[in-house]
């Protein structure tokens, strides 16, 4: 069964995304059933993210694989973007900030860890190999975001004069982060010799360009609505379930909002496409840290409660060590199974700690 060039799985996902969006809408407007609405919205977001993912791939077939990769992670972060915006407008600053952080942790620790375990398991000598360049670029970009977060955090802890100008300093920092991201992106797209496996895919466009663009537009609108309903259901739902705001943002929203990248990266590593797998995870991490986060900081200037780079000491510590650990594991272009498992353990420790917050 094929329709407009979409294959069976894609059509099923599309139908599912539509049904789930509808179900979330009904539960939202019916009211009262918060937990059900929250769970339905979570799954709907993952399904929409999947649609965005293959629609972008189709659009991207017009361009090279490097452009597609970047386009995919940018549009794949759409639900993320909407959730944080609606959370901010609903005054849920903790959920907004922890879901950004959670996306970084989930990608950089949990998913990278699983990807390495899969890649190492399938390699002959138990060591996954990949180009180190992108891994090191991501480390540099992540360290840049860490720098402003640490400095603002320390200034906030000390309570010095600069701490009264956190919004201004965050805004200036956001502009600087974005400028570095674009300089990097320009160099990456220009010089991109993308990993060998990616270039091999040179077939005729499967899905028509107009259909792909239509799907993207529809997904965008659906993502916006579902995110709104998700944020509405979230507050009462987690209160009833007895889950803390921090755990919700850091674990549940982070995993649901990035579900597609997560599955994609692990499957690619399992198939031996190590460079592509690492590229999906790493691009996602750097994009959230030095593109999505600063964009949201700037956007929040128009809200009542601004989003800044200031966060709690535990999150700052976790972020610094995540940046260092991820760099340490991937800098040599080699990773053994225990290194992947070590990253998963780091994520689990963090999740356990946040559970008790």
Q: Which residues contact 212 (CB under 8 A, 6 or more apart)?
A: 55, 56, 58, 59
Minimum separation from the CB atom of position 242 to its own copies (A):
13
Which spans of this chain sit near its own copies (rule: CB under 8 A)?
A: 125-126, 136-137, 139-141, 143-144, 146-148, 150-155, 157-158, 160-162, 164-165, 168-169, 172-173, 176-177, 179-180, 183-184, 187, 190-191, 312-314, 316-318, 320-321, 324-325, 327-329, 332, 336-339, 341-342, 345-346, 348-350, 352-354, 356-357
**Distance (Å, rounded) from C-alpha 273 to C-alpha 275?**
6
Q: Which is nearer to its own copies, 161 or 203 (CB)?
A: 161
Minimum separation from the CB atom of position 136 to its own copies (A):
7
**Residues 153 and 294 sit within 8 Å (Cβ to Cβ):** no
Closest to 128 (Cα-Cα) out of 353, 290, 321, 337: 337
Tokens standing for residue 228: 């709104």
Backbone angles phi, psi at 174, to 5 degrees: -60, -45
**Distance (Å, rounded) from C-alpha 298 to C-alpha 224?**
19
Minimum separation from the CB atom of position 346 to its own copies (A):
5
Q: Which is nearer to its own copies, 75 or 145 (CB)?
A: 145
Minimum separation from the CB atom of position 73 to its own copies (A):
17
Going along the chain, which residue ranges are E strands?
Answer: 127-129, 334-336
Q: Which residues contact 6 (CB under 8 A, 6 or more apart)?
A: 14, 54, 207, 211
Tokens standing for residue 62: 């017009």
**Distance (Å, rounded) from C-alpha 176 to C-alpha 184?**
12
* H-assigned helices in 271-331: 274-287, 293-299, 313-330
Q: Which is nearer to its own copies, 16 or 192 (CB)?
A: 192
Minimum separation from the CB atom of position 226 to its own copies (A):
31
Q: Which is nearer to its own copies, 190 or 203 (CB)?
A: 190
DSSP run (H or E) holding 127:
strand 127-129
Minimum separation from the CB atom of position 245 to its own copies (A):
12
Q: Which is nearer to its own copies, 298 or 353 (CB)?
A: 353
Q: Which is nearer to its own copies, 100 or 146 (CB)?
A: 146
**Distance (Å, rounded) from C-alpha 181 to C-alpha 175?**
10
Q: Which residues lie across from 335 on neighbouring strands?
A: 128
Q: Which is nearer to its own copies, 10 or 156 (CB)?
A: 156
Residue that has been written with the tokens 């360049």 in this structure:
133
**Residues 77 and 84 sit within 8 Å (Cβ to Cβ):** no
Q: Which is nearer to its own copies, 63 or 186 (CB)?
A: 186
Minimum separation from the CB atom of position 271 to its own copies (A):
22
Minimum separation from the CB atom of position 141 to its own copies (A):
7
């Amino acid at each position: 069964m094929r329709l407009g060039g979409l294959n069976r799985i894609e059509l099923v996902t599309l139908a599912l995304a539509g049904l789930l969006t509808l179900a979330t809408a009904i539960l939202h407007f019916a009211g009262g059933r918060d937990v059900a609405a929250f769970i339905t919205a979570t799954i709907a977001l993952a399904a929409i993210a999947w649609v965005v993912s293959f629609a972008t791939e189709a659009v991207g077939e017009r361009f090279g694989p490097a452009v597609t990769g970047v386009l995919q992670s940018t549009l794949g972060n759409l639900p993320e973007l909407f959730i944080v915006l609606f959370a901010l407008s609903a005054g849920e600053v903790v959920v907004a900030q922890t879901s950004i952080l959670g996306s970084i942790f989930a990608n950089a620790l949990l998913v990278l860890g699983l990807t390495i375990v899969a890649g190492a398991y399938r390699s002959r000598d138990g060591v996954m190999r990949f180009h180190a360049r992108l891994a090191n670029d991501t480390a540099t970009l992540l360290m840049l975001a860490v720098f402003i977060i640490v400095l603002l955090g320390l200034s906030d802890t000390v309570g010095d004069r600069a701490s009264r100008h956190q919004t201004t300093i965050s805004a200036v920092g956001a502009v600087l982060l974005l400028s570095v991201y674009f300089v990097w992106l320009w160099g990456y797209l220009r010089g991109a010799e993308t990993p060998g496996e990616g270039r091999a895919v040179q077939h005729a466009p499967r899905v028509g360009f107009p259909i792909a663009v239509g799907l993207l537009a529809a997904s965008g609108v659906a993502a916006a609505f579902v995110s709104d309903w998700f944020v509405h259901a979230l507050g009462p739902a987690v209160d009833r379930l007895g889950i803390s705001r921090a755990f919700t943002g850091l674990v549940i929203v982070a995993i649901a909002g990035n579900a597609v990248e997560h599955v994609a990266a692990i499957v690619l590593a399992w198939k031996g496409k190590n460079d592509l797998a690492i590229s999906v995870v790493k691009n996602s991490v750097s994009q959230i840290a030095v593109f999505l986060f600063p964009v949201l900081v700037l956007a929040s200037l128009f809200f009542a409660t601004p989003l800044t780079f200031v966060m709690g000491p535990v999150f700052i510590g976790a972020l610094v060590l995540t940046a260092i650990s991820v760099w340490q594991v991937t800098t040599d272009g080699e990773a053994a199974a225990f290194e992947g498992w070590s990253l998963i353990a780091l994520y689990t420790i963090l999740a356990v700690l946040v559970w008790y917050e």
